[in-house]
């Protein structure tokens, strides 16, 4: 029974039980209709409490149903039936009350929640808008600007914020059912509240702020349809009576649901959850993870340490000397302090996390640590020396993980005493914010060690994608390939700012040349110089980036790179244009214009070719994993699904 009805004295309790997230499937919707009829007929029940089993109240519609023929009863009808009951319905909420789950709760007359509950309308993240009255009822309950932000951002709010906004009536610190029962007794016998759909929308307090918010939403959308449709739906909810507005909401929802963008977003939603599921790890017990060591407190080490602390894991940071130890500690505490300033943690939590961090300049302190991540310089000798030193101190069942971006972890593991306990955990900068981790599986790694890598990623709330060892793993290898193609195009006829414009218009947050200026051109220049002797002379090589570096044009940090950065402005550089034209002439290339469409097509084709090679070589397991990497680590527009999704669904872009 996915919905059951019980009687508790003079109350009825309706419980949804549809693991894992109590999604509002067809069976749940039918069960709720039956529960409405049963509780209405129950003459002893003076009020109804609606709750759910498991880790969360209904977290939304069952997204897996969206690719099938819609089956009645439809959620808007179920919610309206709840609203039309003669008895008060009190929603007792916990977990993540999202999408259709929040819409169901809005159909109830009252709402109480556990303090840890989150509320949201994340439909836009799936290329949709709420389709069961969320855009109509919410601005009739809370401030319309707050409603607009919730609907268009898809971001959840806390129970405390929900209470402040008037979205819920009360918060329970322990037993949400007791809280609901108390409220039910107060409201029993009659529905004292007007159903939301019979209320007028709340007034817009500040019209200028309202218009500014809508303008910002549209400009931020870049190419995504859903946020714009969501803003339009909330505006309609203010302009029209609820029933008319809800008809338009449903039409917009159904239109978006059949749009390729939503198909892409639903694809990536499930791909992010399936990418880390490896058949060979089924039933494998991961090593315990109760304490983490981080070697190197630089950019990455500090971010990784902070991510582990924020996930509740104590961390020991080891640096090479006192000055670096102190600097690393400061970086970590600065990250934690910023989390406090952003309201992610309170002062008490900050103090506890700071106490969970210990720092040292030796490895003796790591003798009881479960997993140690090295984030030292990107140099094979330095990393090998660190791992070999760690071998002398750590437990036999401790795990060694490298955060290297490119280096051969098979070779690294081979130089340690126990290669089977070595893996790669390729975090992305900033490591405490970026969700993606590439879990690199060397040839000798033991399954329980690999399982621990995925378990740590899950513990940190990261999205983990498996990769085997190669130069650049999945993301960096694909990026190197399309960056090379972009430099070919600059030599062939485009200018760097043409390429960047085309990429931005396609939906990337920035172009590949802007990105290089941001990261610094010198890092890859050093790598190119180290590989010069072994470079394949037959492969086309573009010297333009080298010449920029020879001129000390390293990007933003030197005020000049592919662009000029004088006065805080990003300006196409005449110096670079002259260099590009001179290089094309030197190589006797007859430059021809390249359209934005062709620029994008050449980038996509290069990505897809490199991705296919990764699959053929067995470096990447499935196309879905490659798309998850490119969307979550390299700015590939999420509403296009990823290069491999686009390859099979060309209509999206």
Number of residues that bind ligand NAD (CB under 6 A): 24
* Binding partner selected for residue 123 from ligand NAD, ligand T1G, none, CB under the kind-specific 5 to 8 Å limit: ligand T1G
Candidate list 214, 320, 349, 649; residue touching ligand NAD; CB under 6 A:
320
CA distance 322 to 201: 61
CB of residue 299 vs ligand NAD: minimum separation in angstroms? 4
CB of residue 376 vs ligand NAD: minimum separation in angstroms? 4
List of residues 6+ apart from 74 with CB closer than 8 A = 29, 132
Q: Nearer to ligand NAD by C-beta: 403 or 606?
A: 403
* Binding partner selected for residue 100 from ligand NAD, ligand T1G, none, CB under the kind-specific 5 to 8 Å limit: ligand T1G
Candidate list 189, 244, 290, 429; residue touching ligand NAD; CB under 6 A:
429
Place of tokens 């550089």: 573
Q: Report which of 149, 45, 29, 23 is spatially closest to residue 89, judged by C-alpha positions.
A: 45
CB of residue 58 vs ligand T1G: minimum separation in angstroms? 8
- Per DSSP, the three-state class of 5 is strand
Interface with ligand T1G by CB under 6 A: which range of 15-23, 107-115, 546-554, 578-586?
A: 15-23
CB of residue 434 vs ligand T1G: minimum separation in angstroms? 17
* Binding partner selected for residue 404 from ligand NAD, ligand T1G, none, CB under the kind-specific 5 to 8 Å limit: ligand NAD
Q: Is residue 275 at the binding interface for ligand NAD, with CB under 6 A as the rule?
A: no
Q: Nearer to ligand NAD by C-beta: 156 or 424?
A: 424
- Per DSSP, the three-state class of 249 is helix
User: Per-residue string for binding with ligand T1G, 248-277, x by CB under 6 A?
Assistant: ----------------------x--x----
CA distance 382 to 388: 10
Q: Is residue 561 at the binding interface for ligand T1G, with CB under 6 A as the rule?
A: no
CB 113 within 8 A of CB 93: yes
Q: Is residue 23 at the binding interface for ligand T1G, with CB under 6 A as the rule?
A: yes
Q: Nearer to ligand T1G by C-beta: 96 or 476?
A: 96
Q: Nearer to ligand NAD by C-beta: 184 or 407?
A: 407
Total Cβ atoms within 10 A of residue 484: 16
Cα–Cα separations (whole angstroms), residue 472 to 209, 244, 361, 405, 415: 46, 54, 30, 6, 20
Phi/psi of residue 192, each to 5°?
A: -80, -10
Q: Report which of 98, 208, 205 is spatially closest to residue 162, judged by C-alpha positions.
A: 98
CA distance 125 to 155: 9
CA distance 338 to 458: 23
Please write down the HEC assignment for all residues of 166-196: CCCCEEECCCHHHHHHHHHHHHCCCCCCCCH
* Binding partner selected for residue 75 from ligand T1G, ligand NAD, none, CB under the kind-specific 5 to 8 Å limit: ligand T1G
Determine whether 438 is an active site residue.
no
Determine whether 103 is an active site residue.
yes
Candidate list 31, 131, 475, 507; residue touching ligand T1G; CB under 6 A:
131
- Give the distance, in angstroms, between the CA of residue 460 and the centroid of all CA atoms in the same chain: 12
Catalytic residue among 83, 123, 249, 624: 123
Q: Report which of 310, 436, 433, 287 is spatially closest to residue 372, judged by C-alpha positions.
A: 287
* Binding partner selected for residue 61 from ligand NAD, ligand T1G, none, CB under the kind-specific 5 to 8 Å limit: ligand T1G
* Binding partner selected for residue 96 from ligand NAD, ligand T1G, none, CB under the kind-specific 5 to 8 Å limit: ligand T1G
Candidate list 3, 5, 60, 466; residue touching ligand T1G; CB under 6 A:
60
Q: Is residue 301 at the binding interface for ligand NAD, with CB under 6 A as the rule?
A: yes
Q: Is residue 404 at the binding interface for ligand NAD, with CB under 6 A as the rule?
A: yes
Q: Nearer to ligand T1G by C-beta: 257 or 383?
A: 257
List of residues 6+ apart from 463 with CB closer than 8 A = 272, 275, 276, 435, 436, 437, 457, 628, 632
Candidate list 300, 451, 502, 599; residue touching ligand NAD; CB under 6 A:
300
Interface with ligand NAD by CB under 6 A: which range of 18-26, 163-171, 264-272, 293-301?
A: 293-301
Candidate list 14, 57, 62, 306; residue touching ligand T1G; CB under 6 A:
62
Catalytic residue among 83, 103, 374, 487: 103
Candidate list 2, 5, 16, 98; residue touching ligand T1G; CB under 6 A:
98
Restricting to residues 357-396, name those near ligand NAD by CB under 6 A. Answer: 375-378, 382, 386
* Binding partner selected for residue 130 from ligand NAD, ligand T1G, none, CB under the kind-specific 5 to 8 Å limit: ligand T1G
Residues β-bridged to residue 97: 119
Strands 170-172 and 292-295: unpaired
**Edge-to-edge strand list for the sheet holding 47-52:** 3-8, 11-16, 47-52, 89-93, 110-114, 170-172
CA distance 651 to 653: 6
Whole-angstrom Cα Rg for the chain: 28
Candidate list 4, 8, 64, 586; residue touching ligand T1G; CB under 6 A:
64
Q: Nearer to ligand NAD by C-beta: 199 or 320?
A: 320
Q: Nearer to ligand NAD by C-beta: 57 or 427?
A: 427
Q: Is residue 134 at the binding interface for ligand T1G, with CB under 6 A as the rule?
A: yes
Q: Dihedral (C-alpha) 129, 135, 136, 138: value to the nearest 10 degrees?
A: 150
Please write down the HEC assignment for all residues of 377-431: CCCHHHHHHHHHHHHCCCCCCCEEEECCCCCCHHHHHHCCCCHHHEEEEEECCCC
Binding site for ligand T1G (CB under 6 A): 20-21, 23, 56, 59-64, 75, 96, 98-100, 103, 122-123, 126, 128, 130-132, 134, 270, 273
Binding site for ligand NAD (CB under 6 A): 295-301, 318-320, 324, 328, 375-378, 382, 386, 403-405, 427-429
Question: Which residues are identified as catalytic?
Answer: 103, 123
């Amino acid at each position: 029974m996915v919905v059951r009805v019980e009687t508790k004295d003079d109350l009825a309790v309706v419980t949804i039980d549809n693991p894992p997230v109590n999604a509002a499937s067809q069976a749940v919707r039918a069960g709720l209709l039956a529960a409405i009829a049963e509780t209405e007929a129950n003459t002893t029940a003076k009020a109804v409490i609606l709750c759910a089993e498991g880790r969360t109240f209904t977290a939304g519609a069952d997204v897996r149903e969206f690719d099938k023929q819609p089956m009645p009863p439809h959620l808007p009808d179920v919610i309206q039936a709840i609203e039309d009951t003669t008895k008060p319905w009190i929603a007792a909420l916990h977990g993540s009350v999202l999408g259709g789950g929040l819409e169901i709760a809005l159909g109830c007359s009252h709402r109480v929640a556990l303090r840890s509950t989150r509320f949201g309308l994340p439909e836009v993240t799936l290329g949709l808008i709420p389709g069961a009255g969320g855009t109509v009822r919410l601005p009739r309950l809370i401030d319309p600007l707050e409603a607009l932000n919730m609907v268009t951002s898809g971001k959840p709010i806390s129970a405390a914020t929900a209470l402040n906004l008037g979205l819920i009536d009360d918060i329970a610190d322990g037993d949400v059912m007791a809280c609901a029962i108390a409220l039910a007794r107060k409201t029993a016998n009659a529905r004292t509240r007007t159903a939301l759909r019979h209320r007028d929308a709340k007034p817009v307090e500040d019209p200028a702020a309202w218009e500014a918010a809508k303008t910002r939403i549209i400009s931020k959308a870049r190419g995504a349809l859903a946020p714009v449709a969501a803003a339009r739906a909330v505006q309609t909810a203010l302009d029209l009576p609820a029933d008319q507005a809800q008809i338009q909401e449903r039409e917009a929802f159904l239109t978006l649901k059949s749009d390729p963008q939503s198909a892409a977003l639903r694809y990536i939603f499930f791909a992010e959850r399936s990418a880390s599921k490896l058949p060979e790890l089924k039933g494998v017990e991961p090593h315990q993870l109760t304490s983490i060591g981080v070697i190197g407190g630089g950019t990455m080490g500090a971010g990784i340490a902070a991510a582990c602390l924020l996930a509740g894991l104590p961390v020991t940071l080891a640096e090479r000397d006192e000055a670096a130890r102190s600097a690393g500690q400061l970086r970590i505490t600065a990250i934690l302090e910023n989390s406090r300033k952003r309201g992610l943690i309170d002062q008490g939590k900050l103090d506890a996390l700071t106490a969970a961090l210990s720092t040292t300049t030796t490895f003796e302190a790591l003798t009881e640590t479960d997993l140690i991540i090295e984030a030292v310089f990107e140099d094979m000798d330095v990393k090998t020396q660190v791992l070999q030193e760690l071998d002398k101190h750590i437990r036999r069942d401790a795990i060694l993980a490298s955060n290297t971006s490119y280096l051969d972890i098979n070779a690294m593991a081979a130089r340690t005493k126990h290669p089977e306990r070595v893996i790669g955990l390729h975090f992305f900068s900033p490591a405490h914010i970026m969700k993606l981790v590439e879990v690199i599986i060397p040839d000798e790694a033991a399954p329980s060690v690999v399982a621990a890598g995925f378990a740590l990623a899950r513990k940190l709330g990261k999205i983990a994608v498996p990769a085997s060892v190669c130069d650049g793993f999945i993301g960096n290898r694909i990026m190197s390939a399309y960056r090379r193609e972009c430099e070919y195009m600059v030599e062939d006829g485009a200018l760097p700012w043409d390429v960047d414009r085309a990429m931005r218009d396609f939906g990337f947050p920035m172009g590949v040349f802007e990105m290089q200026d941001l990261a610094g051109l010198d890092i890859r220049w050093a790598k190119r110089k180290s590989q010069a002797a072994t470079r394949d002379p037959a492969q086309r090589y573009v010297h333009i980036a080298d010449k920029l570096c020879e001129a000390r044009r390293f990007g933003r940090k030197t005020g000049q790179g592919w662009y000029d950065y004088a006065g805080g402005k990003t300006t196409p550089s005449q110096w670079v244009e002259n260099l590009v034209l001179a290089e094309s002439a030197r190589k006797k290339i007859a430059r021809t214009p390249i359209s934005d469409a062709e620029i994008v097509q050449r980038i996509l084709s290069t990505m897809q070719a490199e991705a296919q090679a990764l699959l053929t070589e067995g470096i990447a397991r499935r196309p879905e994993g490659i798309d998850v990497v490119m969307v979550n680590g390299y700015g590939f527009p999420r509403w296009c699904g990823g290069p491999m999704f686009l390859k099979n669904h060309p209509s999206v872009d």
